[in-house]
Structure 1
Amino acid sequence: MTDTHSGASPKLVVLDMAGTTVADDGLVERAFVRAAERLGAEPDLDYVRRTMGESKISVFRALFGTEERAQRANTEFEHAYAELVDSGACAPLPGAAEAIAALREQGRTVALTTGFSRTTQDAILAALGWQDIADLTLSPADAGGRGRPYPDMVLTALLRTRAADSVREIAVAGDTAYDMLSGVRSGATVVAGVLTGAHDEKTLREAGATHVLDSVAALPALLAEF
């Protein structure tokens, strides 16, 4: 499911985590339900599904109105997600680790990004033994706090790694519309949607995907064509 393409060969590859390289299997929704229950609120799963990929604190601000309730909800969500990770409910997607290794073997710099907090991202990386799998890992707080759909994490990865001379030498891959918007807004040449997570091909393409892949495992072969 790849498209024709033109442009510079990507030197920096920015990958999402949950749903793209890490199996979600409903963990985000389960953690959200737990958090809402602990706050005595009704969980709005439809909104959570629509905003998959967005910074979690931004989602809670929209849902809970006040900053105090949003911060409480975010804290409860982080605790609930950590509990699920600690219980063993966290695994890499098939072929993800191999794809990251292959991209680096091709001479590309790889950054892993997330909508979670740094604490939760580190817990996931530790649970998978992925602390050294990528050249850089970023959470929204590491890039000014806005997260997706803003391009901040992608551009921060470029500034931190200095892996490319231009935004046209960046590839972005993710499973949500917010990942696609972030990639498009950053100016990346490749904005690849993967079908292992939250959103379908139609949603990904409408958000600006240049390519749609069955999984991130197909990304090294795609980029090798550039």
Structure 2
Amino acid sequence: MYKPINLVVLDMAGTTVADGGLVERAFAAAARRTGAEPDSMLDYVRATMGESKISVFRHLFGAEAKAQQANTAFEAAYGELVDAGHIAPVPGAREAVERMRADGRTVVLSTGFARTTQDAILAALGWQDLADLTLCPADAGGRGRPWPDMVLAAFLRTRAGTVDGMDQVAVVGDTSYDMLSGVRSGAGVVAGVLTGAHDKGQLEEHGATHVLDSVAGLPDLLARVEI
């Protein structure tokens, strides 16, 4: 039986937002502010793109107080770069969201950043009202990707009778962790995009059902997908 994809959960940085490597720049700044040497940690940061940032810092710094200090420094550094105008939409991203909503799909923007940073990005782009809902890890009990919690939170908060099950959900992102969160949630479509951190092989290895050049192609993909 045909079931349309009625809920789309989109990642932000690397998927809908082009941040020009700001995650690595902000991480380096945060590491230095906490007395650490960033070069030895950057490989892990790159490998875990998409994971909630506090989880990354817990792995790297161990002690909770140190991890929280580093996370606060990271969010401050990233916010400063955002305020300085170092981000832009991925070409076609806004138009893709607007088209999907016009097609009757609910769209949620999700991130591994803290709420304050997510709000700063949305404000910088003028996207405060672009999506139906925005989510960060704190909105889903504190666990970000690769856990499925944000996807499930999006489902629970927005279904409103239009989504009968997870097979009507699409999860879209640019990292392996985005793909894992989609697979673990049971989403019907798990789509990777090539505008961010990971390549086609990494995305497919971690469960991508489709790989697109960019999110701009997502409305056309969903229009032809049948479950």
Q: Same-fold call, TM > 0.5? A: yes
Runs of 4+ more than 6 Å apart: none
Equivalent residue, structure 2, for 1:121 = 118
Could you tell me which residue of structure 2 aligns to residue 3 of structure 1? none
Q: Secondary structure at the match of 2:131?
A: coil
Query: Which letter does structure 2 place at the counterpart of 1:153?
Result: M
- CA positional deviation for 1:7: 6.6
Instruction: Tell me what 2:9 maps to.
Output: 14
Structure 2 CA distance for aligned equivalents of residues 197 and 24 of structure 1: 9
Aligned to 1:211: 210
Q: How does 1:1-226 map to 2 (within 5 A)?
A: 8-43=3-38, 44-162=41-159, 163-226=162-225
Aligned counterparts of 1:120 and 1:8: Cα–Cα separation in 2 = 35
Contact 1:12–1:169 (CA under 8 A) maintained in structure 2: yes
In 2: Cα distance, 1:34 partner to 1:91 partner: 21
Provide the C-alpha distance between the structure 2 equivalents of 1:29 and 1:213, rounded to a whole number of angstroms. Answer: 24
Which amino acid is the alignment partner of residue 146 of structure 2? Answer: P
Counterpart CA distance in 2 for 1:15 and 1:56 is 18
TM (normalized to structure 1)?
0.96
Cα-to-partner distance string for 1:61-87 (whole Å, 9 max, x where unaligned): 000010000000000000000000010
The Cα offsets for residues 68-124 of structure 1, whole Å up to 9 and x where unpaired, read as 000000000000000000101111110000000011011000000000000000000
Is contact 1:8-1:189 (8 Å) kept? no
SS at match of 1:34: helix
Percent identical residues? 73
- Structure 2: unaligned runs, 5 residues or longer: none
* Conserved? CA contact 1:193–1:209, under 8 Å: yes
Contact 1:7 1:189 in 2 (8 A): no
Partner amino acid, structure 1, of 2:90: L
Number of residue-to-residue matches in the alignment: 221
Deviation of 1:40 (Å): 1.1
- How far is 1:165 from its partner? 1.1
Computed over aligned residues only, the root mean square deviation of the Cα atoms, in angstroms, reads 1.0
Name the CA distance, whole Å, in 1 between partners of 2:81 and 2:124.
Answer: 11
List per-residue Cα deviations over 1:107-148 (Å, max 9, x = no partner).
Answer: 000000000000000000000000000000000000000110
| 159 and 117 in structure 1: CA distance in 2 versus 1, 3 angstrom threshold | same
Secondary structure, counterpart of 2:217 in structure 1: helix
Instruction: Give the Cα–Cα distance (whole angstroms) in 2 for the partners of residues 125 and 66 of structure 1.
Output: 31
**Separation in 2, partners of 1:45, 1:25:** 16
Q: CA deviation at 1:8?
A: 3.0
